[in-house]
A and B are shown apart, each in its own frame.
Chain A
Amino acid sequence: MNYHWDWLFFFQEADDGLMYYQWVLSGLGWTVAVSLTSLAIALLLGSAFGVLRTTPNRWLIAIGDTYVDVFRNIPLIVQLFLWFFVLPELVPRDIGLWMKQDLPYFVTAVIGLGLFTGARIAEQVKAGINSLSRGQRFAGLALGFTEWQTYRYVRLPMAYRIVLPALTSEAMNVYKNSAVTYSVGILELYFQYKQIIEKTSQVLEITIVITLAYFVVAFATNRLFAWIEQRSRVPGMIAGGQGGK
């Protein structure tokens, strides 16, 4: 294969006056910003809807189940297109124009990715709460806690610890899924990847660098969660818990 290797092209000036390595860094910045914001939204939504689905009220359960079923069964890219292209046409004309012309694309992207990831986290939070024995809730109620207080002080602290490994995977997935947001105009890492290929044709160098960049952010997240897992471990709670080692 007669490939023309040229690692130094990263230090060449692109047509906007920046160097190509700066394009990569700017893309990485957007990837991290989109991912962390989406993850924050997803943790809030996922916890809220996960709790709803374990309450004794069947209407609340139905709301939580609907959310999870809808957002887990539609492909991410289709969801982003629904928010980006379809929603502005369904709302009143003035709001639609505002969404199309003034609303930053970042907002559309993180809401889309956040809702998608939130549905997956809701499923895990529900599983965590349901894995606790019924006696935990009864004991809390017997002590005079309200239903909410049994969640806040008894069930959620344990449920989060149990599902932390699953949440770690989800947090790593957000980075990888964030690549899809290039399709709604976010200038993130994958966008810069395509752009740099087209401008320089140095396909292999840029592919290697972008692959490493994704690996590094996902792996750093993995280590961070492993650390949280270790620090938050309650001795004896889960048999032989080794916390991400």
Chain B
Amino acid sequence: MRKSLIALTLCLTAAGLAATAQAELTGTLQKIKDSGAITVGHRESSVPFSYLDATQKPVGYAMDLCAKVVAAVKNELKMPNLQVKYQAVTSQNRIPLMQNGTIDLECGSTTNSLARQQQVGFSVAYFITSVRMGVRKDSGIKDIGDLDGKPVVTTTGTTSDGLIKQNEKGKAINVKNLYGKDHADSFLMVESGRAAAFVMDDILIAGLIANAKNPGDFAIVGPSLRDEPYGVMVRKDDAPFKALVDKTLIGLMKSGEAEKLYTQWFLNPIPPRGVNLNFPMSPALKAAFATPTDKGVE
């Protein structure tokens, strides 16, 4: 009885202390300092942003950028031995895991949208993707107008369907919407002739084409249906931490280091199979590097 009383008192005191500590300093930086660890959320197959290499280690363009952020956190907190943990996330769970504190920053391919800003915060954009069409070259499809009456696939749980209708040329035509389970599935629908076009972020289509059996059979065509900025996800209303992330990323953009990383991941052979995406920097991304912004899309 006495032992449990002592234990209870100790617990209450500890809880009380923790509560006081929280009341004084809030935010991710304080959480990292208290726990002595930072948890980086990563994707498993968002090539070349954040994915697992042959040894199941998370790598990619976004992971490299985040490594610099982690270094800046170590520096800021004067904790050179800060423990860095990695946590795989999916597009379904990344936002809840950020909100409940499982991950401290997410480095993947997350579009900074106004709907998501209700839930989480975003850094300045480190990549701009354009939603375009992936087609078979022998289909003869060159523009949106060619899609009239054709089946068009997009991936379940993405926001690309409906964009054709919003496009000026798309208003006059009717397409049959199909949905793939994931990007590989959607691409297979185009490859096997089930769908005439795959409407998706151009960089993701480029990744699928680069890994296809005959990359020469496919092309990315049509205008950009929408430009979407990718940002590092952080907790909402955590200004000090977001400022540190932004400062680091902007520094990399200004010094030209971000462009070097871009060249490494988008214009050179990358692990695990040494495929080259051959995806030069778009004018939109050049502009985003010149004048960094954390503005979200609708």
Interface string of A185-211 (1 = CB under 8 A from B): 101000100110111110110000000
Q: A16-B162, A201-B119 are in contact. Are A191 and B179 (CB under 8 A)?
A: yes
Report Cα–Cα, A183/B185, bound state, in Å: 8
CB contacts (< 8 Å) of A203 on chain B: these are 92, 95-96
Q: How far is the CB of A112 from chain B (nearest CB, A)?
A: 14
Decide yes or no whether B81 CB sits under 8 A from chain A: no
Nearest CB of B to A31, in Å: 15
| Minimum CB distance partner of B160 in chain A | A198
- Does A6 touch B at the CB level, under 8 Å? yes
Given A2-B237, A183-B185, A201-B118, A97–B193 Cβ distance below 8 Å? yes
Contact A201 B185 (CB under 8 A): no
Does the CB pair A198–B159 fall under 8 Å?
Answer: yes
Residues of B within 8 A of A89 (CB): 192
Taking a contact as CB atoms under 8 Å apart, the answer to whether B192 and A4 are in contact is no
Interface size on B, residues (CB 8 A): 31
Query: Does B268 reach chain A (CB closer than 8 Å)?
Result: no
B157 touches A197 (CB 8 A): yes
Please tell me if the beta carbons of B91 and A1 are within 8 angstroms of each other in the complex: no
A182 contacts B181, C-beta separation under 8 Å: yes
Partner of A195, one of B151, B157, B194, B237: B157
Known contacts A2-B237, A85-B192, A100-B194; 5 additional CB pairs below 8 A are A85-B188, A198-B157, A201-B116, A201-B119, A203-B92
Residue A101 at the B interface, CB < 8 A?
Answer: yes
**Closest CB in chain A relative to B216 CB, distance in Å:** 21
With A2-B237, A3-B119, A15-B162 as contacts: A182 and B99 at CB distance below 8 Å: no
Interface size in chain A (residues, C-beta < 8 A): 27
Q: Are A197 and B92 in contact (CB under 8 A)?
A: yes
In the assembled complex, B269 has its CB within 8 A of some CB on chain A: no
A101 to B91, CA, bound (A): 30
Give B129-159 interface residues, CB cut-off 8 Å to A. 151, 156-159
Chain A residues near B194: list those with CB within 8 A. Answer: 100-101
CA distance A182 to B192 in the complex (A): 19
Which A residues touch B240, using CB under 8 A? none
Binary CB contact string for chain B from 109 to 122 against chain A (1 if under 8 A, 0 otherwise): 00001011011000
- Select one of B91, B92, B178, B235 contacting A2, CB under 8 A: B235
Contacts known (A88-B192, A97-B193, A194-B156); A4 close to B92, Cβ less than 8 A: no
Tell me the minimal C-beta distance from B187 to chain A in angstroms: 12
B101 touches A199 (CB 8 A): no
Residues of chain B within 8 A of A185, CB atoms compared:
178-180
Expressed in whole angstroms, the Cα–Cα distance for A183 and B166 within the complex equals 26
Give A contacts to B, CB under 8 Å. 1-4, 6, 15-16, 85, 88-89, 97, 100-101, 182-183, 185, 187, 191, 194-195, 197-201, 203-204
29 residue pairs from A and B, CB less than 8 Å apart: A1-B99, A1-B100, A1-B101, A2-B99, A2-B235, A2-B236, A4-B118, A15-B166, A16-B162, A85-B188, A85-B192, A89-B192, A97-B193, A100-B192, A101-B193, A101-B194, A182-B156, A183-B185, A185-B179, A191-B179, A194-B92, A195-B157, A197-B157, A198-B158, A198-B159, A200-B115, A201-B95, A201-B113, A203-B95
A194-B156, A203-B92 known; A3-B99 Cβ under 8 A: yes
**Interface pair A199/B151, CB less than 8 Å apart:** no
> In the complex, A182→B118 CA distance in Å?
28
| Nearest A residue to B177, CB-CB | A187
A101 to B178, CA, bound (A): 11
| CB-defined contacts of B113 to chain A, threshold 8 Å | 201
Q: Are B193 and A100 in contact (CB under 8 A)?
A: yes
Chain A residues lying within 8 Å of B162, measured Cβ to Cβ, are: 15-16
Q: Which residues of A contact B192 (CB under 8 A)?
A: 85, 88-89, 100
Q: Residues of B contacting A16 with CB < 8 Å?
A: 162
Chain B residue nearest in CB terms to A96: B193
Of all chain B residues, the one with the shortest Cβ separation from A198 is B157
Closest to B166 in A: A15
Contact present for A194 and B157 (CB under 8 Å):
yes
Residue of B nearest to A3 (CB): B99
Interface residues of B in 153-195 (CB under 8 A from A): 156-159, 162, 166, 178-181, 185, 188, 192-194
User: Contact check: which of A4, A85, A88, A195 meets B156 at CB < 8 Å?
Assistant: A195
